[in-house]
Amino acid sequence: MTDTMLLQNHPRTGPVLDLEAVNRQWADGDALRFVQWGHDTFGDGLVLSTSFGIQSAVMLHLVTQVAPAIPVIWVDTGYLPVETYRFAEELTNRLQLNLKVYQSPLSPARMEALYGRLWEQGEVADLNRYDQIRKVEPMQRALRELGSTAWLTGLRADQTNHRRSLQRVGQQDGYYKLMPILKWNAREIYQYLVAHDLPYHPLFDKGYVTVGDWHSSRPLTAADSNERDTRFRGLKQECGLHLPQSPEEAASLDSSAL
């Protein structure tokens, strides 16, 4: 690593990177080696987030090959399908994940008593409030409490127009964001799953291409022009966990299938 790529190291904030130089180096680099670089660079400040979604096994397996003890943040909304909870248990045991489960301080019952069933109210503002309570706040708290300086995500460039413009290392709300499989396509995802005998989420066999909460996910149909139409009745695709910094990012960082 050159001095221009790693400018300084602060005991609280972690390394300060020259993003242009880092992204030149890793534009087309091997995903496993990229994860190793992230682990070497950020050490205990590196975390991995997961939704235990359709293809989550790819990132969970890839990252834990390098960093078996990495904290794996799972934001449990309390509204996930039964299949997701069972899938999470299966992968946690199989990969021996260092799982860190975070939830909203408002229980589902209390939230519904105070605000109603926000996902049924038909307004994007209500869905945003839901995401803030059940997803965004727990994720932000997790990053703080775990002393994170960088986190690994499974975003892919072929998922949205905005993601095509992303680079493998970015910054968001003061955290570095590392995307090892940014340039992978569906075929590469499938090949990795097969090569390592990893499972899809069980709802994949029922037609789901992305899955979140039970009340806001449905199988893909012939009428859908995009897999994101299957979330929140097509009104909203951003799950909130990626903490968008701008309206453009909020509109384009859609709920990841990973």
The residues annotated with a catalytic role in the active site are: 239
* Three-state SS at 243: coil
Task: Give the span between the Cα atoms of 211 and 203, in whole angstroms.
Answer: 8
DSSP string computed for 28-92: T--HHHHHHHHHHHHGGGEEEEE---TTHHHHHHHHHHH-TT-EEEEE--S---HHHHHHHHHHH
Q: Is 225 exposed, middle or buried (0-12, 13-18, 19+ CB in 10 A)?
A: exposed
Task: Give the span between the Cα atoms of 132 and 31, in whole angstroms.
Answer: 31
* Structure token pair of residue 23: 């992204």
73 forms beta bridges with 49, 100
